[in-house]
Amino acid sequence: MPASLIDGNSLLAVDVGSVTTRAAYFDVVEGQYRLIGMGHCPTTNYSAMRNLVLGVQLAVENLQSLTGKQLMDDDGRLLIPSQPDGSGVDAMVTTFSVGAPIKTLVVGLLPEISLKSAEKLAHATYARIVDSLSLNDPRRLDEQVNTIVRYSPELVLIAGGLDGGASYSIKNIIETVGLSAYLMPEEQRPAMLYAGNRALADSIKTTLSKIASELVICPNVRPALEVETPGPAQRQLANLTTNIRQRQMPELEELRTLSGGVILPSAYAQGRMVRFLSSYYGGNKYVLSVDVGASAISLAASFGEDLHLNVLPHFGLGEPLSGLLKHTTLDEIARWLPVEIPLETVRDYLYQKSLYPQCVPATHEELFIEQAIVRQSLLLSAQTMIQRLPGRYRKPGGLLPSFEPILAGGAVLTHAPSLGQKLLMLLDGLQPVGITTLVLDHNNLLAMLGVAAEVNSLLPVQVMDAGALAYLATIIAPVSDAAYGTPIVRAKLIREDGTTMTSEVNMGNLQILPLDSGQTARLELRPLRNADVGLGPGRAGAVEVIGSSLGVVIDARGRPLRLPPNTGERVKLLKKWLKTVGG
Amino acid sequence: MLAPLIHILPLATVTRTRLMPVEGKIIAGVGQKVNPTDTVAEAIVGRKHLVIDVAQKLDIPQREILKCIKVKKGQSVAKNDLLAESKGLFGKEIVAPANGTVVATGSGKIVLETGGAVFELRAGIPGVVTQTIGLRGVVIRATGGVIQGVWGNGKLDYGTMQSLMEGPEDLFEPARIDVSLRGTILLGGHVESQKVFQNAAELAVRGLIITSLNPALLQIASQMPFPVLVLEGFGRRPMNANAYKLLSTNIKRDVSLNAETPNRQNNARPEVFIPLPVSQEPPEPREAETFAPGQLVRVVFLSKPGRLGTILQLRPMASLPNGIKTNAAEVRLENGEQILAPLTNLEVLG
């Protein structure tokens, strides 16, 4: 891994999404790594060709035409490493999120302890939990076996037993898993990951290695009652996820070979990058990244080194939309519409989009519906993540912890026509509190940088420093129980040139203090009526803020944000907010 | 940009893979002519396992259990056959609780596989078997008209197609289903009422080909005992003109209705197949195409749904009326209207 620019290796990063395949080319310019260009193409796994590699070739072709850099030979083969004539690229890395959620069985000893750890592990990848087994399972043995055989899981995640603790019970459960897998057709047997009592590792190997399609033994995710160490198991799970996908899509092998084995699930790479940023931004900050994809919404929250990765396939903005109404209602989606649209139209949109995940909204009405769906899906995703967080990170009232910054990517966000629309989708969906910065991953690079770090530790840092991520806005979101219309914060923005702007913001209002991109300013905040602007209830203070096209946004609309039940009033308010942020 | 294709073809040669959910026995041989209702393969599905804890029932340690078990893996047993016994004054016997096969013994347990039903894989289309796929299924080659849809309830049947449509924008009125249509495959418009399914089920129709479906009826449509194929999508939509013309000119013909559940992972699409005799095999449908001016396309999303048009010009990174910038095309619809449509919202007819 180069720690300096001596090698100066160029890099091609490929991300195979469920809708779009993207290829990004990075190289050294004036002593710094830069993103040179990005090509894209519809993912070809779903076309009649059913071959992901074709989509990669087309994305690279697109990249070539945009950058003028020759990366492939005349037969469409990638030129790796770089050729003496300057064509080609030194290395390639790959991330992927393509594919249906992996049917997963989670196994643990106690439901509230090791089973939770196994579930948490499953949440870190593109998994759908189909069943769980634990000591308290009330089903008869043959009921358990028949259910597992019927679900035919592709992956089994096993946790259980503290290191040095009892082993008898977990052995019994594992026997059930082994028997069930044995009864499945050989070609359908699941891959298994064991991350329980390490004293059992040898016995697990003996029991399961000939039955599982692949068996991985990891360090215990719960070595002691109060200690959880999911990191090593998450890494192994990322590899296992790749292997499972490769069995489903054999052409991934070609991408793996071209990438010199450096291939990771996008969500894992995203999480890796967020954990890195948590220390990169200094002071072990709490950093959140959200990727709104067609196959899943992924939320990576890093509290210093403590990463909590949540991949939520049921909230994806593509095929999963046909199931969204199992988690919410049409009314809850439609409440975000700034115009009146019949509920039936919203419903038809959900289902039609599940058939055609690649479609983009062609009219104003479709755009409003899509953005309403994004808001509600983000809200549900954030709530799910908050519920899964350990108590030490949760805020009273189920509010989002104080993340700073919050990074957001995904085509529905980055392709929105205006910055204001991007901002409002994030504010309404995530409902951040206190003082934070919204950062837009406008090239959807985060996962690519996360996997790039595997071969070049300098590249992600330098690419980000060069502005790969765009500041969307500084957000001040006070928490207050004051009545709507009463002032809850006084703000004074003191710009570098000495000009100032003061504002008193009422509960229920959204206000912008203009501060141009590239400028910094000092923002003095004086909360009223015991409001908490992020400095503690009623506490005043000052922060340095960075400018952006949207400036500093004071979102005093309330946390949680409550919309008027009356449709007319609500639509009027949503229109007003949209106008405030520039439409 | 690579274009998604939708096949609406009056005559083509198609190869279709027919697979069982599990391995079984292949009945049809390569080169064999098959009719849609012929069984080409069969397997046992839905087997249950009974786990008998011999050690616990005989109350003896696991290490002593081997000598007590009287059956071997792979052995068929009938109900009440002896499975295991312990010796001694208070010896016990364990008998098979049902007919079945011993599929595993070990750890003091015997596992019996019982029950299950025969799954018969039908050919679905009339043609010639060109390949067998392990013990899972066959590939069949056939000639005829093809109309692909967007959603199906996973069922398949064959029968005479009758139409209840008067125009491509029709609503499927449940009252139109009468006794004269018993046992046929019905072509209808948009389904808004569950009464359509109730009436169709009462008359034991062989299948429904519908233009579009109220998504609130998805569950009912999924549960119907006959195939239900949706041609255009969800919410009220007109049937595209080519599909309407092709289907309505083949009324009273026998058709295969394969309402396969769409699956992007394996590119599965539901379809109506109209078998047609030919003297010379027509070409196979194109499988890949890039967008280009002159192509006939179908608008698949909410705006202008189901409309056909011709691409006049490609417009890279064009601004749509809502401000989104995307690769788009200027399309002249059949009624002469000209629209700017994102390429992602178009399918090429091929």
Could you say which of B1, B265, B324 has the minimum Cβ distance to residue A360?
Answer: B324
CA distance B87 to chain A (A): 26
Predicted ipTM? 0.92
Q: What proportion of chain B, given as a percentage, has pLDDT over 90?
A: 82
> How far is B20 from B120, CA to CA, in rounded Å?
8
For residue A359, give the nearest of B5, B151, B300 by CB distance.
B300
What's the pLDDT at B292? 96
pLDDT at A164: 82
Spell out the CATH class of B2-38+123-275. Answer: alpha beta
Taking only the tens place, the pLDDT of each residue in A367-419 is: 999 999 999 999 999 999 999 999 999 999 999 999 999 999 999 999 999 99
How large is the average pLDDT for residues A28-47? 88
Tokens representing B118 are 């025969």
State residue A285's pLDDT score. Answer: 83
Q: Is the dihedral of CA B312, B313, B319, B324 positive or negative?
A: positive
Task: Name the residue facing A48 among B5, B113, B344 (closest C-beta).
Answer: B5
Q: What is the mean pLDDT of chain A?
A: 93
Residue A7 has pLDDT above 60, yes or no: no
Residue A162: the pLDDT is: 85
Residue B19 touches chain A, beta carbons under 8 Å: no
d(CA B238, CA B184): 23
Give A336-360 pLDDT, tens digit per residue: 999 999 999 999 999 999 999 999 9
At residue A167, the pLDDT reads 81
Closest by Cβ to A362, choosing from B50, B218, B301: B301
Q: What confidence score (pLDDT) does residue A355 get? A: 93
- pLDDT tens-digit series, residues A258-292: 999 999 999 999 999 999 998 887 766 899 999 99
Q: Name the token pair of A113.
A: 């302890």
> With an 8 Å Cβ cutoff, are B325 and A179 in contact?
no
CATH architecture of the domain formed by B291-349: Roll (2.30)
DSSP secondary structure letters along A12-56: EEEEE-SSEEEEEEEEEETTEEEEEEEEEEE-GGGSTT--HHHHH
Query: In this predicted structure, what is the pLDDT of residue A209?
Result: 94
- Does pLDDT of A74 surpass 60? yes
Percent of chain A predicted with pLDDT > 70: 97
Binning pLDDT at 50, 70 and 90, where does residue A6 land? very low
Q: Is the pLDDT of residue A1 over 50?
A: no
A145 touches chain B (CB under 8 A): yes
Name residues 162-181 of chain A within 8 A of B (Cβ): 175, 179
CA dihedral sign of residues A442, A49, B305, A332: negative
Strand partners, A520: A546
Question: How many Å lie between the alpha carbon of B265 and the closest alpha carbon of chain A?
Answer: 6
Examine the pLDDT at B223 and tell me if it is beyond 50.
yes
What span, in angstroms and rounded, lies between the C-alpha atoms of A26 and B172?
A: 56
What are the Cα distances from residue A115, in Å, to A161, A173, A221?
Answer: 10, 12, 11
Q: What is the pLDDT of residues A500-524, one digit of tens each?
A: 999 999 999 999 999 999 899 999 9
Q: What is the pLDDT of residue A378?
A: 98
Task: Give the sign of the dihedral formed by CA A244, CA A248, CA A253, CA A256.
Answer: negative
- Nearest CA to CA, how far is B183 from chain A (Å)? 30
CA dist B327 to A345, A352, A357, B303, Å?
A: 25, 20, 16, 17
**Residue A360 Cα, gap to closest chain B Cα (Å):** 7
Q: What is the model's pLDDT at position A44?
A: 84
Residue B304 has pLDDT above 80, yes or no: no
**pLDDT higher than threshold 60 for residue B36:** yes
pTM listed for this prediction: 0.93
- Burial class of B139 by CB neighbour count within 10 A (0 to 12, 13 to 18, 19+): middle
Q: CB contact, 8 Å: B111 with chain A?
A: yes
Of the candidates B139, B137, B154, the residue with the CA atom closest to the CA atom of residue B258: B154
Task: Determine the topology of domain B45-117 in CATH.
Answer: OB fold (Dihydrolipoamide Acetyltransferase, E2P) (2.40.50)
Average pLDDT score over residue span B106-111: 88
Chain A contact for B326 (CB, 8 A cutoff): yes
- Closest partner residue to B288 (CB to CB) among A49, A145, A367 is A49
Yes or no, beta carbons of B321 and A364 under 8 Å apart: yes
pLDDT score, position B113: 95
Whether B9 has a pLDDT exceeding 70, the answer reads yes
| Surface of A (465-524) touching B: CB under 8 A | none
Residues 6+ apart with CB under 8 A from B250: B145, B161, B274
Lowest mean pLDDT among A240-249, A503-512, B162-171, B298-307: B298-307
Gap from B264 CA to chain A (nearest CA, Å): 5
CB contact under 8 A, A366 and B104: no
Whether the pLDDT of residue A166 is over 80: the answer is no
Residue in A179, A348, A364 closest to B322 by CB: A364
Percent of chain A with pLDDT over 90: 86
Does the pLDDT of residue B35 top 90, yes or no?
yes
**Contact (CB, 8 A) for A169 and A132:** no
- pLDDT for A281: 76
Note the pLDDT of residue A5.
44
**pLDDT of B226 strictly over 80:** yes
Distance CA A7, CA B305 (A): 54
- Residues of chain B positioned with their CB less than 8 A from the CB of A363: 302-303, 320-322
Domain spans, chain B: 2-38+123-275, 45-117, 291-349
Distance from CA of A485 to the nearest CA of B (A): 33
Tell me whether residues A416 and B234 touch, CB distance under 8 A: no
* Residues of A with Cβ-Cβ distance to B321 under 8 angstroms: 362-364
Cα(B228)–Cα(A500) distance, rounded to whole angstroms? 67
**Could you give the domains of chain A?**
11-96 (3.30.420.40), 102-248 (3.40.50.2300), 267-580 (no CATH)
* Residue A4 confidence (pLDDT) above 50: no
Residue A107's Cβ-count burial label (10 Å; 0-12, 13-18, 19+) is buried
Q: Which residue of B has its CA nearest to A181?
A: B104
What are A217-252's pLDDT values in tens digits? Answer: 999 999 998 888 899 999 999 999 999 999 999 999
Mean pLDDT computed over every residue of chain B: 93
Digit-coded pLDDT (tens) for A424-441: 999 999 999 999 999 999
Q: What is the DSSP-derived secondary structure letter of residue A172?
A: H
Cα B23 to chain centroid distance, Å, stands at: 18
CB A95 within 8 A of CB A448: yes
